[in-house]
Amino acid sequence: MSERFHDVAVTVNGEEVRERVDARKTLVDFLREDVALTGSHVGCEHGVCGACSVRVDGVVDTDEIADLQQAFIARNALQCGYCTPGMLLTAQELLARGGVPSREQIRTHLSGNYCRCTGYQAIVDAVEAVAQARAGAKR
Ligand code: FES
């Protein structure tokens, strides 16, 4: 077997996947092409724009971000939706810390996720609204 290919065994969304993979293949290409999960998007292909963000060694329970997804829709925090999967995961990572982050903290935390369409205002509004709602739910 060429050194360029490696046998990998990973668990993706609770299912074990075993594949022989080109060593140069990125995780997102592996997920999209070998595992047929196209929810993760490829943007810059350099790990800079955040579009391909995935959660590693963790489970994303869809209910966990349902309120975020609804807030994004309600506040038009997406247009083309290309950045949205990564944006949601990154926002959830901040919100999982608890509390109500300031708009500046939200912007700083999402600064690694590029959006070409919305201008970010609506995204910050949506994340802030969910933070406040979750904090209110805890009172
Ligand atoms: S909604 Fe289009 S890149 Fe963000």
What is the Å distance from ligand 1's center to 108 Cα? 18
Of 133, 121, 110, which Cα lies nearest the Cα of 51?
A: 110
Question: What's the pTM?
Answer: 0.85
Q: What number of other Cβ atoms are within 10 A of residue 20's Cβ?
A: 10
Start and end residues for every CATH 1.10.150.120 domain found in the chain:
62-137
Query: Is the distance from the beta carbon of residue 44 to the nearest atom of ligand 1 less than 6 Å?
Result: no
Residue nearest to atom 2 of ligand 1 (CA): 80
**pLDDT at residue 139 is higher than 90:** no
105 close to 90: Cβ distance less than 8 angstroms: no
CB of residue 82 inside a 6 A radius of ligand 1: yes
Reported as half-sphere exposure (CB side, CA atoms, 13 A), residue 93 has a value of 16
What's the 61 CA to ligand 1 centre distance in angstroms? 23
Q: Which CATH class is domain 62-137?
A: mainly alpha
What is the 51 CA–ligand 1 centroid distance (Å)? 9
Instruction: For 15-65, write each residue's pLDDT tens digit.
Output: 899 999 999 999 999 999 999 999 889 999 888 999 998 888 766 666 889
**Distance in Å from the first CA to the final CA of the chain:** 59
Alpha-carbon distance of 124 to 110, in angstroms, equals 9
Residue 74 CA to ligand 1 center (angstroms) comes to: 15
